Structure formats: structure tokens, C-alpha cells
A = this chain, B = another copy of it.
């Protein structure tokens, strides 16, 4: 029986990769007066729901999806959180 999972995926640039967008945002924040802000890095945050047999299956699928489409493994890292959604209605 399949179960629905809610997934939150965080994709970040590897620490060794330059982040021009982060530099631009940091500069903007400094110009607005927030001088104490440093080390700004911009990443992606992806939310989705998926059907899977169990949590291990969901993790396997999610790893594949990140490697193939959601992240660029050459320059990006990713991590995720998976939560099983409550099923309402008909009994399983």
C-alpha cells in the first residue's frame, strides 16, 4: 500500500563554489545598514509530495531525483526532510 510523503529539499552550493548572488545580496544588506551580516549563501528550497511504499523507498526516489534533476552534484549539495502525511478516509 502506498503512502503519501511530504518532502522538503534544500539545495546549496558547495562551500568551495563562488556564489555571486550571495555576494550581491550581502552587499545590498550592507547598503541598507545591516553591516553585521556575513557569509550570505543563496540556495534552493523545494517542497513536494510523493507516493512511496515506505520511507526507505521515498528516500531512494528522492536521492535519484536530486541527482538527476533537482541539484547539480558537481557544484551543489542537497539534503531533505521527509514526513509521512496522515491518510484520512478509507481504511487500508
Residues of A within 8 A of B (CB): 2, 10-12, 25-26, 28-29, 32, 34, 36-52, 61, 64-65, 68-70
CB < 8 Å neighbour of A29 from B26, B42, B69:
B69
Pair A45/B2 contact, Cβ less than 8 Å: no
With the chains together, A41 CA to B44 CA distance in Å?
11
Nearest to A8 among chain B residues (CB) is: B10
A48 touches B37 (CB 8 A): yes
Contact B26 A69 (CB under 8 A): no
> Is there contact, CB below 8 Å, between B47 and A44?
no
Cβ–Cβ < 8 Å partners of A68 in chain B: 32
Tell me the bound Cα distance from A38 to B26 in angstroms: 34
Give min CB distance, A78 to chain B, whole Å.
10
**B43 engages A46 (CB within 8 Å):** yes
